[in-house]
Structure 1
Amino acid sequence: MSGIETLYPFLYEDGSDLDTVLAEVRRSTEEKAAEIVALRESLSDAMAGDLVACAKRVASSVIGGGRLYAFGNGGSCTDAQDLAQLCMRPPHGARPVPATCLTGDVAALTALANDVGFEVVFARQLAAFGRSGDVAVGFSTSGGSANVLAAFAEARRAGMVTVGFAGYGGGSMAEAGTVDHLFTVPSASVHRIQEAQTTVYHVLWELLQRALDGRL
Structure 2
Amino acid sequence: MISKEEIKRSISESIELKNKILSDDKVLEAIIMSCKMISAALKSGKKLLIAGNGGSAADSQHMAAEFVGRFLLDRMPLRAIALTTDTSIITAISNDFGYENVFARQIEALGETGDVFLAISTSGNSKNLIKALRIAQLYRISTISLTGMSGNEMEKLSDICISVPSRKVPRIQECHIMIAHIICEMVEKNLATFSLNKLNNLVDKD
Task: Tell whether the structures are fold-level matches, with TM greater than 0.5.
Answer: yes
Residues 110-165 of structure 1 deviation map (CA, whole Å, 9 limit, x = unaligned): 01100110000000110011000111011111000000111111111111111111
Match of 1:69, SS state, is strand
Residue in 2 that maps onto 1:38:
16
Aligned counterparts of 1:44 and 1:160: Cα–Cα separation in 2: 29
Aligned counterparts of 1:207 and 1:123: Cα–Cα separation in 2: 28
Greater radius of gyration (CA):
1
Residue in 2 that maps onto 1:74:
54
Q: How many residues align?
A: 191
Structure with larger RCO (C-alpha < 8 A, sep 6+): 2
Stretches of 4+ aligned residues off by more than 4 angstroms: none
Provide the TM-score with structure 2 as the length reference. 0.87
Residues 146-204 of structure 1 deviation map (CA, whole Å, 9 limit, x = unaligned): 001111111111111111111123411123xx211111111121000101111111111
Residue in 1 that maps onto 2:81:
100
Aligned counterparts of 1:42 and 1:94: Cα–Cα separation in 2: 33
Once the two structures are TM-superposed, the CA of residue 52 in structure 1 deviates from its matched residue by 1.6
CA contact (8 A) 2:75 2:192 kept: no
Map of 1:149-188 to 2, 5 A cutoff?
149-175=130-156, 178-188=157-167
Once the two structures are TM-superposed, the CA of residue 94 in structure 1 deviates from its matched residue by 4.5
Please provide the CA RMSD for this pair.
1.6
Once the two structures are TM-superposed, the CA of residue 86 in structure 1 deviates from its matched residue by 0.8
**Percent identity of equivalent pairs:** 30
Residues 75-112 of structure 1 deviation map (CA, whole Å, 9 limit, x = unaligned): 11001111111111114425521111111111111011
Unpaired runs of 5+ residues, structure 1, are 1-20
